[in-house]
Amino acid sequence: MNTLTIDDVDLKGKRVLVRVDFNVPMTGDGTISDDKRIVESLPTIRKILDSGGRPILMSHLGRPKGQPDPEFSLKPVAEYLGILLNVPVNFAGDCIGKTARQMAAEVRPGEVLMLENVRFHVEEEQNEMEFARELASLGDVYVNDAFGSAHRAHASTEGVARLLKPSVAGYLMKKEIDYLSKAVGNPKRPFVTILGGAKISGKIDVIQNLLPKVDVLVIGGGMAFTFFEAQGMEIGDSLVEREKIGVAKEILDMVKSRRLRLILPVDCVIADKLDNDAQRRIVPVSKIPSGWRALDIGPETVKLINLAMRNAKTIVWNGPMGVFEMSNFAAGTMEVARLLSQATKSGAVTIVGGGDSAAAVAQGGFDGSISHVSTGGGAALEFLEGKTLPGLAALDSKP
């Protein structure tokens, strides 16, 4: 990564404005149900504190539609962060204005200031420059550690980076980019990519960007059935994007011309309706009866994926293998998570991106045995598509 990082700047005595990604799931009473994104930000915050800097944190939470909404207040996150850091975390009731400016000026060494949700202002998502200028006035140095928001050109991610210098990457941003860059740019081989999810439309650019680079491409989830439809197979009532059949045919032709190994499901778990308690059975993909739909990959497909992983040196996984949110159709996704953990122990570099894939890894207790689980679903996907991330591109480059 050719971007300046937090290690390249002097932080002592500085007010360090940090864009973190604290968009974490919370229950109705304000309890944080998954703190991964907060925990991943701790090394950057501690680095600032240990260097004599004064962290001023800003983040979004949820979709408050550009106006204050108590449901999306970051105050519970600030309180939780204080417990994790074991240092005082003060909370400003707004991210701009007189109170925010005063609190930012008065934050002392050893303390942290957390600003209220930047999306309480419509100007945040509009990347309005005056709003970005007010945010920038709160700090002396800008650090972007919010990889999960790096694909958004918002005021707190892109606008501030152009106004407040130096603007550098935090440790989480650096880790995310380093892992994804090596996987896509210079992977150890064999390189296996596993893609799932409901629709091919969300993964077209990823497939086209990775096809010249992968050795084995595995496609599962609902998107696989658009490929089967493109081959003229009967797929019952399974999900298919008819407007993407032509694209699926083009991808199949590209795979054939490049002599790549493509693994599509050979069997699947079918149901007579989209319901966790529906009748279900396992059949070959060529034997899906009318009125039934495929909702998960079957055990023979899992075996094929296992064989593909066995000798792999780099594995990237994005997207579930079935309707993962329903427990009776989550087995295929959970098996891929388990196989990924095994591959890591055998020496492969394994990278997981996407909310459902990351959730499966966490649910199975495998998150400690995967090389890297990305904190940014949309950002990771766009990086794999080969797109420029605005929040990263706006940061200062090394000479």
How far apart, in whole angstroms, are the C-alpha atoms of residue 97 and residue 201?
Answer: 42
- Comparing C-alpha atoms, which of 251, 383, 230 is closest to residue 318? 383
Q: Do the Cβ atoms of 268 and 294 come closer than 8 Å?
A: yes
**Where in the sequence numbering do the catalytic residues fall?**
37, 199, 355, 378
Q: Distance from first CA to last CA of the chain, Å, rounded? A: 12
Q: Among all chains, which residue has been given the structure tokens 């990564």?
A: 1
Give the pair of three-digit tokens for residue 308: 């593909």
182, with CB counted inside 10 A (0-12, 13-18, 19+), is: middle
Q: What whole-number distance in Å separates Cα of residue 266 and Cα of residue 194?
A: 15
Q: Residue 194 forms beta bridges with which residues? A: 218, 317
220 contacts 196 by C-beta, under 8 angstroms = yes
Tokens 């109170």 belong to residue: 99
Is the CB of residue 378 less than 8 Å from the CB of residue 148?
yes
Return the structure tokens found at 25. 């799931």
Task: List the beta strands (DSSP E) in the chain.
Answer: 15-19, 54-58, 89-92, 112-115, 141-144, 167-169, 191-195, 216-219, 261-263, 267-271, 280-284, 293-297, 314-318, 349-353, 372-373
**Which ranges of 164-223 does DSSP label H, i.e. alpha helix?**
171-185, 204-210
